[in-house]
Structure 1
Amino acid sequence: MPLAAVIPVKSFVKGKSRLAPYLSEAQRKALNRNMFNHVLKTIGAAKAINEVIVISGDEDALQMAENEGAHAVLEAEQSNLNSALDVARKAAMALDADSLLVLPADLAKLETTDVTALLEAADKFDDKVIVAPDTKHQGTNALLQQPIDAIPFVFGSDSFSAHQREARNSNIDVIVIERPGLAFDVDGPEELKILEDRFLNQES
């Protein structure tokens, strides 16, 4: 299955605004940039992924993507996550991908073994949707679908349940994968406390 991975990236400056009480603007920019760089390189090391697409309105993020051999797609202004992913899906289809993996840019503990686990689960079914939740079982921290247009993107409030519901409504098998590297994302001070110092390094 020709597989494309998509990483949607918010502005490094504006992203993680909820952390503003705990980090300076420069620290938040460094955090966003370093986490994205980690996810980008981790996905790039997964040999089973044929294409990597980064969609963002941040020029720095797009340049980083191109430097790693990924496809850079400029996100339209005033776009939301789901509409941006629709654009990325069309880009993946133009690259002849027939399955799609969406991973957020803030998976600071993501490892190649996490990506491998997703792909191994995908091999068990022809048509499927694979969902990995966050630690609260509310958000979607990984979404793999085959065929590439199996379900619409419904990221937002309680998207973990929403993506499963969309799959079942389409009579497509749903697989839930739970791994620490996929579940951990950075949304508040609790995650900052256990985050490696290198992610706040402004020199990276």
Structure 2
Amino acid sequence: MIWTALVPLKSEAARKSRLAMRLAPAERIALSHALLGRLTTALRAVPRIGSIVLLTDAPPTGWNERWILDRDRGLNAELEEARSVLETPLVVIHPDLPLVEPDDLEFLIDAAEEIGCAIAPDRHGEGTNALAMARPASLAFQFGTDSFARHCGTPGVAITSVRRLGLSLDCDTPGDLDRAIAEGFVAP
């Protein structure tokens, strides 16, 4: 099975806003670029991922993959629109995973191919960092507060949870960044 990876990327001004008390705007942008670079490197190393598509208002300089315009209608609406034009199966993955490795992505895809849908929560078990759907039309996107529970509670959809450090540790807060650095992430 060949998968498409869909990566939602906030506008430059909105990236890593919860780190504003710690990092200057240029540092937050550099961090978001480094994290996106790490994710795309990991995605490219997975043979079953045939394409990477960025969902954003404007792709970063040097982006040579496909991208879909984010029209600022909200993440879930934008993802639904993107899904309607993309091939299946689909992995939706956020670009703020400082420790993500190809093995993490392989594990997620293996689980989705076995069950139909696999979800990787954040390290707090509240948010959704990645969602792999072998048959994506069956699951509505519900990103936002408590998205992990909302996704898992979708009636009639078989979902398995994948808990791996590379998929659970995102870089949203200063504490997350400190944890990532302690685990070996080298921040720009």
Provide the TM-score with structure 1 as the length reference: 0.85
Alignment partner of 2:67 out of 63, 67, 72: 72
- Write the distance in 2 (CA, Å) between the matches of 1:194 and 1:184: 8
Tell me what 2:133 maps to.
145
Q: What is the deviation of 1:182?
A: 0.3
Deviations 1:67-93 (Å, cap 9, x if unpaired)? xxx2111211x321111111221231x
Whether 2:10 is the aligned partner of 1:3: answer: no
Tell me what 1:108 maps to.
98
Whether 2:122 is the aligned partner of 1:134: answer: yes
* 2:129/2:167 contact within 8 Å kept: yes
Tell me what 1:98 maps to.
88
Alignment partner of 2:77 out of 69, 80, 83: 83
Whether 2:144 is the aligned partner of 1:156: answer: yes
Identity %: 29
- Write the distance in 2 (CA, Å) between the matches of 1:177 and 1:7: 18
Deviations 1:3-30 (Å, cap 9, x if unpaired)? 2110000123321111111111111111
CA 1:2 to 1:59, structure 2 compared with 1: closer, same or farther past 3 Å?
Answer: closer
Deviations 1:85-139 (Å, cap 9, x if unpaired)? 11221231xxxx22111100101110000001012212323xx221111111000
Question: Alignment length, in residue pairs?
Answer: 185
* 2:169/2:180 contact within 8 Å kept: no
- Write the distance in 2 (CA, Å) between the matches of 1:123 and 1:180: 21
Deviations 1:43-63 (Å, cap 9, x if unpaired)? 111111122111101332xx5
Tell me what 1:51 maps to.
51
* 2:93/2:130 contact within 8 Å kept: yes
Matched to 1:175, the amino acid is T
* 2:112/2:118 contact within 8 Å kept: yes
Structure 1, unmatched stretches of 5+, are: none
Whether 2:170 is the aligned partner of 1:165: answer: no
- Write the distance in 1 (CA, Å) between the matches of 2:161 and 2:59: 34
Tell me what 1:180 maps to.
165
CA 1:119 to 1:59, structure 2 compared with 1: closer, same or farther past 3 Å?
Answer: closer
Matched to 2:144, the amino acid is G
Provide the TM-score with structure 2 as the length reference: 0.91
Matched to 1:84, the amino acid is E
Matched to 1:116, the amino acid is E
Tell me what 2:174 maps to.
189
CA 1:99 to 1:59, structure 2 compared with 1: closer, same or farther past 3 Å?
Answer: closer
Q: How large is the RMSD of aligned CA atoms in angstroms?
A: 1.6
- Write the distance in 2 (CA, Å) between the matches of 1:156 and 1:59: 23
Q: What is the deviation of 1:31?
A: 0.7
Q: Which runs of 4+ in 1 moved over 6 A?
A: none
